[in-house]
Amino acid sequence: MNSKKINRQIDAIINEFKENKFPVFCVTGKMAAGKNFISSFFESKNFLCIDFDKEVHFLIEEKNDEILKTFEKNAEETGLVIKTQEGKVDKRALGVLLFSYPELLEKQEKILYPALSEKIKEVIKQTKAKGNFRGIILNATVLYKIPSLLNKCDLVIFVEASWIKRFNRARKRGGLRELEILQRFTAQKNLLDKYKDFGCTITTVKN
């Protein structure tokens, strides 16, 4: 879908919620589907866009010592080093570990998601009160794992792209080897079903 068609679809979504003075939309989709690209359209229309990947990275830095204490032994057992020479979490190495062992990923989510939920709820509250923005976009792949935030969303916008297009985009970004990309693709294969199971109102945008 080209940019003009996407823009028209987004305008239609916004118009559908014009009676809502401050809509909150979740923009989600599988890895490299184009969530940031779609979010940028909303941003140009005066929506505040919150990138959950960036927020998680900030929280990892804040909880650096707790994360190292929790996962360093697991990493050593698998031959990974998740602590840099500066004593900080190596986020790439940590990602490799967590996406290889779902039970460890779940453990990290229990560390990060409660704090993330409280932070974002406060941002939503303050932004709505100030009235500087038309609404909020929560740009998040797995928001279904944080029901307290997903419940605040008026609509889930699921961004779709073909497997090969997503794979090529992910490979061009660098930072992950092909096997690591495939691991993350596999972990997200039933992503849309997770949102359907939650009972969300969902619309799709092809990118």
Average pLDDT over residues 182-194: 92
Neighbours of 47 (CB within 10 A): 22
Whether the per-residue pLDDT at 60 is higher than 70: the answer is: yes
pLDDT of 1: 53
- pLDDT grade for 173, boundaries at 50, 70 and 90: confident
What burial class does residue 157 get, using C-beta atoms within 10 Å of its C-beta: 0-12 exposed, 13-18 middle, 19+ buried? buried
**Average pLDDT value for the chain:** 94
pLDDT of 42: 97
DSSP string over 92-106: HHHHHHHHH-HHHHH
Query: What burial letters (b/e) apply to 1-31, b meaning 16+ CB within 10 Å?
Result: eeeeebeebbeebbeebeeeeebbbbbbbbb
Whether the per-residue pLDDT at 174 is higher than 80: the answer is: no
Amino acid at 2: N
Whether the per-residue pLDDT at 124 is higher than 90: the answer is: yes
pLDDT digits (tens, 9 = 90+) for 50-59: 999 999 999 9
What burial class does residue 51 get, using C-beta atoms within 10 Å of its C-beta: 0-12 exposed, 13-18 middle, 19+ buried? middle
pLDDT of 175: 75
Q: Are 152 and 121 in contact (CB under 8 A)?
A: yes
CATH architecture of 3-206: 3-Layer(aba) Sandwich (3.40)
Q: Please state the pTM of the whole predicted model.
A: 0.91
Average pLDDT over residues 10-24: 93
Give the lowest-confidence range in 151-160, 173-182, 198-207: 173-182
What burial class does residue 63 get, using C-beta atoms within 10 Å of its C-beta: 0-12 exposed, 13-18 middle, 19+ buried? middle
